[in-house]
Amino acid sequence: MKNFTVKNLALSIVIVVFGLTLLLGLSAALVECVVFFDNSSTYMIISYAKSIQGMENGFDLLAFNSKTECMNTDENMWIVKCVSFSSFFQWIISVIIIICGVICSLQNSKKARGFSIAFMTVGLIFSVVYMVLGIIYSNIFRTAYNYPYSKSFIVYTKAWIPFVLCLIIYVTYFILKGILKDKATVVDEIVKDASSDENHEIETLIKYKDLLDKGIITEEEFAKKKRKILQ
């Protein structure tokens, strides 16, 4: 393991968690449907309730097909395909981010972290797309859904959850990056401060020497100042 640091480990964990959250975010329901039935045939109610299952998510649509008949029509197939393509690419990006996080944990490389944050940014964008498509999908489902035995129904989406979680993790990454410092960075700051103090002492000593040469101070006074500076 090359140049292991607490900062590198912490950031690597955040990257992997982001990738997992983005991947599991595809399980967030694009549409959930709560149906209130009237007093019609119990058999019909149970059969239909099982057929719609009341939920669809990104994983379901990776097959480029909806499990609800009302969304498989020519009129609504465009949104199914949009969600399918988006979910597929989100799945790919998630896996890449997880791999980047593992690589970062094994090798402390700014280049590797740079690639990771680039893919995390793309992943965050895909989570926004998933949220927007979820809102559109649920609205279309609400309009398309029609069953004579239903008295009323509530349709909503949970596609916003992955975006919120990914955003929190994304911000956390930069907060940790700002708080935690690499060992090399700390050493550089110490050396810089030491160099600054050393340069200041040399400049002060040169000024006192110049005053000695001009006869403004005595040899004894210069020696005393020199000892004080070099202590």
Per-residue pLDDT of the chain (231 residues; tens, 9 = 90+): 445 577 788 889 999 999 999 999 998 888 877 665 555 444 344 434 434 444 788 888 888 888 777 787 888 889 889 999 999 999 999 999 999 999 888 887 778 888 999 999 999 999 999 999 999 988 888 787 655 545 566 778 889 999 999 999 999 999 988 887 654 454 445 445 545 555 667 777 777 777 778 777 778 877 887 777 676
What are the start-end ranges of the E strands in 19-99? 29-37, 55-57
Residue 46 φ then ψ, to 5°: -65, -40
Residue 184: Cβ within 10 Å count: 11
Residue 195 φ then ψ, to 5°: -65, -40
Half-sphere exposure for 55 (CA within 13 Å, toward CB)? 9
pTM score, whole prediction: 0.69
* Tokens, residue 149: 């035995």
pLDDT digits over 169-221, tens only?
999 999 988 887 654 454 445 445 545 555 667 777 777 777 778 777 778 87
